Amino acid sequence: MSPTPPPSAGTKLRVGFYKRSCPRAEKIVRAAVWKALSKSPVIGAGLIRLHFHDCFVQGCDASILLDPTAANPQPEKLSPPNFPSLRGFEVIDAAKKAVEKVCPGKVSCADIIAFASRDASSILSSGRINFRMPAGRLDGRVSLSGEALQFLPPPFFNLSQLIGSFKAKNLDVDDLVVLSGAHTIGVSHCSSFTDRLPPNPSNMNPAFATMLQRKCPTSPNITNDPTVVQDIVTPNRLDTRYYTNLLKHNVVFTSDAALLTSRRTTRKVLQNAFIARRWETKFATAMVKMAAIEIKTAANGEIRNMCRVVNN
């Protein structure tokens, strides 16, 4: 089991947080994730991405889960970076419902997202990425579409923009390169990368570009925007294939290709590509570090009764 770094200063996160208040919590969440991934492995990628998109906006507080209301018709989940591509909401709902039956009012939706992303990482890596996730998060009450646009790095960012986006969340360049490895799983809409396909200039492998052109319309739109797997070799396995694909220029996003635009990040890409166990350990550590971003306190957080709505 990979070492777990301490949570960031000022938080009250700890491993085994629910040992007394809800000892079955983590097992219940894992069961919900197992059930979902046994039917559709791509949901695992969705759960990891859900965690990332939650933590980068308002911190790790389950703000990504809040549904639109009359008072707030545009929450994060309806923002362009999230809708309609973000997946896994129903898994969190199922886990929350099961936990509430056993321990009503004890387990936050934010912690369920964090546990689910950890469990998805373990399942998709065949147990090679297996780590302890500190808990004790509270759920936020604020969710704004505009903040998702402000804080989530889009697929067209260059390296300096990516570094700045991660730095704003107290994540460093190593975290950026390591967490980008999650692009070895899941799918992407064609609209996210057609700017890199011919006749547009890019350093994409021509054979890879041709394959993508066969799958994507020339001008994707809301009614015609297919998805393609991000890793054509092992699309449902969380492994180091992303980095070998990157070195061969077989990646879809500008933000992926950007990792080869400096000596510093290229060196990290090479290390991750060829020292698998090192990347697995670093990925576990970076996931825990990300999971401690901007934790809510009792003054601005709660434990929601239902993940999609704030408590009355």
| Residues labelled as active-site residues | 53
Q: Which helix (H) or strand (E) holds 229?
A: strand 227-229
CA distance 29 to 100: 11
Angle, helices 42-55/89-102, rounded to nearest 10 degrees: 80
CA distance 189 to 47: 17
Q: Which residue reads 């054979």 in tokens?
A: 207
Angle, helices 89-102/25-39, rounded to nearest 10 degrees: 150
Neighbours of 278 (CB within 10 A): 13
CA distance 277 to 280: 5
